């Protein structure tokens, strides 16, 4: 993978990793806002299905072209949903010629799992 | 705690626990719908703050009366948000006299953490 500027890692992921967990103590307004944004990205059935398709490939990048085929949805619908997942830092995006390719960002998932630790 | 019918454990929590994880393989439409509902309940900053107040008490029940005070919001706002958290199975509700009391449902959180395992 060409680990240059084409890979987008957004601040939301690192923001979530700064958080502790819901079980440690009451969280503040800023932390709640940031974490709610991460969960909002997951609060859509089609985004979860897209995410599971990418996550199932482990560290391998998945082409947007395969997602349209597998899920029977248009390229613009894939792009719309994937942008939200990239913006929140759950996925990384890399452009390879005509097609965008996506991989999971394990740190972002670990941060969310940590947030859901309740003691 | 009076563990009778006043404690509401809803099907969504057990539904999520039936799920595997996003990293195991592409999830189907039904599973995606159910899981998205759980994440939607978490996709609101005030609900996350309320949840963190309850989760911070471990297994102890938290009175709705304390939540209104701690967060400076009205009783009806607390009720509105807590209903969504109870409906998705993340919290259990028990009526004690005038006031509702809430506790976390650890199994529901464990199911969500499991869903966010990506291999």
> What is the predicted pLDDT for the residue at A20?
57
Residue contact A45–B32, C-beta within 8 A: yes
Q: Which of A50, A52, A55 is nearest to A68 (CA)?
A: A50
- The answer to which of A23-27, A68-72, B57-61, B97-101 has the lowest mean pLDDT is A23-27
Q: Are B112 and B14 in contact, with CB atoms under 8 Å apart?
A: no
Write the CATH number of the domain with boundaries A11-17+28-115: 1.10.10.10
Contact flag B26-A52 (C-beta cutoff 8 Å): yes
Residue with tokens 């009783």: B75
Which residue numbers in chain A have pLDDT < 70?
1-20
The complex's ipTM works out to 0.81
The structure tokens 């995410």 sit at: A51
Chain A residue closest in CA terms to B57: A23
Distance of alpha carbon A58 from its chain centroid, rounded? 13
Domain ranges of chain B: 11-17+28-115
Q: Distance between terminal CA atoms of chain A?
A: 38
């Amino acid at each position: 993978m060409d680990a240059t500027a084409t890979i987008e890692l957004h601040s939301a992921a690192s923001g979530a990793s700064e958080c502790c967990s819901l079980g440690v103590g009451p969280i503040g307004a800023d932390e709640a806002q940031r974490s709610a944004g991460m969960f909002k990205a997951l609060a859509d059935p089609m985004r979860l299905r897209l995410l599971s398709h990418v996550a199932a490939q482990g560290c391998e990048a998945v082409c947007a072209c395969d997602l349209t085929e597998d899920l029977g949805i248009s390229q613009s619908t894939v792009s719309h949903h994937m942008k939200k997942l990239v913006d929140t830092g759950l996925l990384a995006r890399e452009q390879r010629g005509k097609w965008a390719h996506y991989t999971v960002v394990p740190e972002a998932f670990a941060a969310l799992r940590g947030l859901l630790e309740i003691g």
